[in-house]
Structure 1
Amino acid sequence: MTTPQTTVIDTLSRHPIYILFIFFFLYKIVVPKIRQETNIKKLLVSSNDLEPTSSDNNITFPKPDNINILQHGKFLSALDCWKAVQEKSHVFEDAPPGNKSNTWFLVTNVDNMSRKTNNLHSKYYDDCGIWESSKGKAFHQDYLLSDNFRTIFLKNDQYCTKVRQSGKTLFVPITPQPESTSIVTMHRYSTVLKDNNSFIKHVTWFNSSFANDLPSIAVYEYSGTYSLENATNYVRTHQKTLEKVVDECASKIIKRFSYR
């Protein structure tokens, strides 16, 4: 009596754990193969004119078009970020490639809005190399639009101003309490480049109760002189590329099962 042959599909259907192994293999073996290694030699960029200086004349590293300069490498104030988001002079789909020393620009933040809805971490892609996630910090602050973008604090369900009195910090409730339509909240993520901690990145966006699309634009700021050595750095694969690979692999597996 012959024993019926067991196909791979039959095995997978009886042992779903194998599917997890397949995804693990794809993530550990296939995805790394699509990583784009950078071959960028060390660049030293002047903080004054942002033009690269290098002994190798074959290396060119121009700054992107439609970006703005951080004067003296000083980050924008919260009010300046707010004005930039309101003006929407030029919004990039992603951080543009190229020299970002002491610059700022606007980038669409729609994907991160979707990720937040699905309880996923935000992603702020650029071509600068590896950012030090262990030194990343998130900051949140409320501002009062009706009072010249005044900094306010929510304490015991009341919005307050902060004052110093007799060496102590006091939070004084605002009277009357401001309307929700006059309050915006700033969210800011900051981090440093792994191989150059003096090169700092800020990503800032806002939300409010009166404008649902307000978080759809973020302000990217880069302070300091950019220096990247290809011997120790690489550019991470774009999150959209990784998600596309996973989606396509999952689609093929599901399609294979549908033909059983």
Structure 2
Amino acid sequence: MEAETTGECCESLDPIVSNVLDVNTDHKSAPLQTMRPASNPGKFMTNEELLKVIKSTEIGEKSIPHGIKCDVYIVIEASDDNGATYFPDDCGVWDWKSATTVNQTFVVTDTLDKLRTVYIKKEQYCFKKMVNGAIIYEPLFPQPSSVLTLHRYYTKLMEDNTFKKRITTIAGLPEFICREKNAGHC
């Protein structure tokens, strides 16, 4: 899963350094070095960046460290028994009433570095095209043997709705969750 935020980050501290300084080391959690700096502070990862991160991760973490997390992401294992759905945040309460979820289905291009959106129409995977102002769904031939499904959860901090997070789960890849936090006010 991937969670991200936007806004002013952690007062006058460097956002990456503050993550290291503010993590509660008494808690049994992921090592500090597992939180990686965001590639584009203040913005969510692109689908391609996310794919690259997931593919380059050999072992996901067991849990998310406590402490402020601005402009970082972490990849954790997605299993039913490791608390992967528990996301400790020291920023405050998230507004679950305004939260949204988005599901997207993709195929990976032949170069294995790009994702291309596909749609299911009449039990077939299709690409969407515009032809003479009309939307056409063109079935893929041959049909892909596997697809990736991104499930994304978006929410905002109740105290400051400019601080946002996104959690992404990818079905069709190794069972990892990527959690990413971008510039936000904690």
TM category (shorter chain) comes to: 0.7 to 0.9
**Take 2:56 and 2:155, find their aligned partners in 1: how far apart are those partners?**
26
State the TM-score, normalizing by the size of structure 1. 0.54
Contact 1:142–1:185 (8 Å) recurs in 2:
yes
Whichever of the two has the greater Rg, that structure is 1
Q: 2:165 is matched with which residue: 201, 207, 212?
A: 201
Among candidates 87, 97, 120, match of residue 154 of structure 1 = 120
Kept in 2, the 8 Å contact 1:47–1:73? The answer is no
Change over 3 Å in CA distance of 1:171–1:109 after alignment to 2: same
Unaligned runs of 5+ in 1: 1-42, 53-59, 116-121, 228-260
| Letter paired with 2:62 | E
8 Å CA contact 2:67–2:88 kept in 1: the answer is: no
Letter in 2 for 1:175: F
Give the equivalent residue in structure 1 for 2:27. Answer: none
SS of structure 2 residue aligned to 1:45: coil
**Gap change, CA 1:45 and 1:173, over 3 Å in 2:** same
Aligned counterpart, 1:166 = 132
CA RMSD of superposed structures (Å): 3.0
Give the counterpart of 1:127 among 89, 93, 97. Answer: 89
Runs of 4+ in structure 1 off by over 6 angstroms are none
Question: What amino acid is aligned across from residue 198 of structure 1 in structure 2?
Answer: T
SS in 1 for 2:68: coil
Q: Assess, with a 3 A threshold, how the Cα gap between structure 1 residues 47 and 65 changes in structure 2: closer, same or farther.
A: farther
Give the 3-state SS of the residue equivalent to 1:220 in structure 2: strand
Structure with more strand by fraction:
2
Give aligned-pair identity as a percent.
Answer: 24
Task: Provide the rounded CA distance (Å) in 2 between the counterparts of 1:164 and 1:47.
Answer: 48
What is the count of residue pairs matched by the alignment? 164
Q: Secondary structure at the match of 1:96?
A: coil
CA distance in 2, matches of 1:74, 1:187: 18
Structure number with greater CO (CA < 8 Å, separation at least 6) is 2
| Offset of residue 91 of structure 1 | 2.9
Residue number in structure 2 paired with 1:45: 10
Preserved CA contact (<8 Å) 1:139 1:188: yes
Residues 158-186 of structure 1, C-alpha deviations (whole Å, 9 max, x = no match): 11111223333332222232223xx2212
Amino acid at match of 1:157: E
Report whether the alignment pairs 1:142 with 2:101: no
TM-score (norm 2): 0.73
Q: Which residue of 76, 85, 95 corresponds with 2:54?
A: 85
Structure with the larger helix share? 1
State the Cα deviation string for residues 212-231 of structure 1 (Å, max 9, x = none).
xx3x310011223232xxxx
Deviation at 1:92, TM superposition (A): 2.7
Find the aligned partners of 2:70 and 2:151 in 1 and give their Cα distance: 23
**How far, CA to CA, are the matches of 2:57 and 2:128 in structure 1?**
32
Structure 2 counterpart of 1:257: none
| Structure 2, gaps ≥5 residues long | 1-7, 25-31
Change (3 A) 1:90 1:96: farther
Paired residue type of 1:125: F
